[in-house]
Amino acid sequence: MNLTLKIWRQKDAASQGSIVDYQVKGIEGDMSFLEMLDVLNEQLITKGDDPVVFDHDCREGICGACSLQINGEPHGPDRLVTTCQLHMRKFNDGDTIYIEPFRAKAFPVVKDLMVDRSSFDRIQQAGGYVSVNTSGNTIDANAIPVNKDDADESFEAATCIGCGACVAACKNASAMLFTSAKVSQFALLPQGQVEATDRVLAMVNQMDEEGFGNCTNTGACEIECPKGISLENIARMNREYLKASLKG
């Protein structure tokens, strides 16, 4: 199939960017979206042009490195997939596709489609850990009984790959889904109770300091999340936060 691509090009963080039109030919339905961009980049390199910069690593939907706002939706029109797992058969011959970076003040553009998501790392560093000794005398995880439902919910929260699609989709650029997944994965387990109070306060505080917007419960994040992280996590974080604020 032949496509018209409208891609955001931006030289560096300090420069102004703009949308530039490109034509690509001979795209197969079995290619992934990133492979389609590889084809474009080969064309550009052959012509001596600057290739389009975009983030990627595993290309199998597990690392959270790939991003891209595709036709106005993070990770494109398909559900429960990352951009690297989005197939070109979801598009038709002759389509025009907008490709933009994930946009948020807390995700500044580095170059073209690549954004700096280290704000997520700082939220995680603020409290996304547990005081479990892992050097030398590690305790068997099964020594502490955990309710199966809680274990499952915690596991589901932990499947968040930190891609940032929730922020990109949200009209408020809120990071509540990501932060709540990282709070929930510990809040549900006995091992997470030790730092429970400090964790939620510190992570929410960091989230606010990074300049993410306020949640207004539109639910866009849950729909666009490639891992199907549930809004229930946000409600849980709100509860944890209120509990912690009243305590601390």
The CA distances from residue 166 to 38, 101, 175, 220, in Å, are: 25, 13, 7, 7
In the block, tokens 């489609």 appear at 113
**Which residues sit at the interface with ligand FES, rule CB under 6 A?**
56-59, 61-66, 82-84
Q: Is 183 in the site for another protein (CB under 8 A)?
A: no
Which residue among 215, 226, 227, 229 contacts another protein (CB under 8 A)? 215
CB of 56 to ligand FES, least distance (A): 4
134 in Cβ contact with 161 (< 8 Å): no
Q: Is 216 in the site for ligand HEM (CB under 6 A)?
A: yes
Q: Is 214 in the site for ligand HEM (CB under 6 A)?
A: no
Nearer to ligand FES, 67 or 206 (CB): 67
CB of 135 to another protein, least distance (A): 33
In the block, tokens 């960091």 appear at 206
Stretch that binds another protein, among 32-40, 48-56, 156-164, 172-180 (CB under 8 A): 172-180
* Token pair of 141 as six digits: 């995880």
Residue type, 211: G
Helix (H) or strand (E) holding 247: helix 232-247
Nearer to ligand FES, 61 or 192 (CB): 61
Provide the pairing of β-strand 109-111 with 114-115: antiparallel
Quick one: what does residue 87 bind among ligand SF4, another protein, ligand HEM, none, with the CB cut-off 5 to 8 Å set by partner type? none
Q: Which residues, 6+ apart, have CB-to-CB distance to 238 below 8 Å?
A: none
103 in Cβ contact with 95 (< 8 Å): no
187 in Cβ contact with 130 (< 8 Å): no
Tell me how far apart the alpha carbons of residues 16 and 142 are, in angstroms, rounded to a whole number.
54
**Segments of 26-89 assigned E as strands:** 69-70, 73-74
What mask of x and - would describe binding to another protein in positions 36 to 75, judged by CB under 8 A?
A: ---------------------------------x-xxx--
Q: Which residues bind another protein (CB under 8 A)?
A: 6, 8, 19, 69, 71-73, 77, 98, 100, 103-106, 109, 169, 171-174, 176, 201, 204-205, 207-208, 211-220, 223-224, 231-232, 234-239, 241-242, 245-246
Q: Which residues bind ligand HEM (CB under 6 A)?
A: 216-217
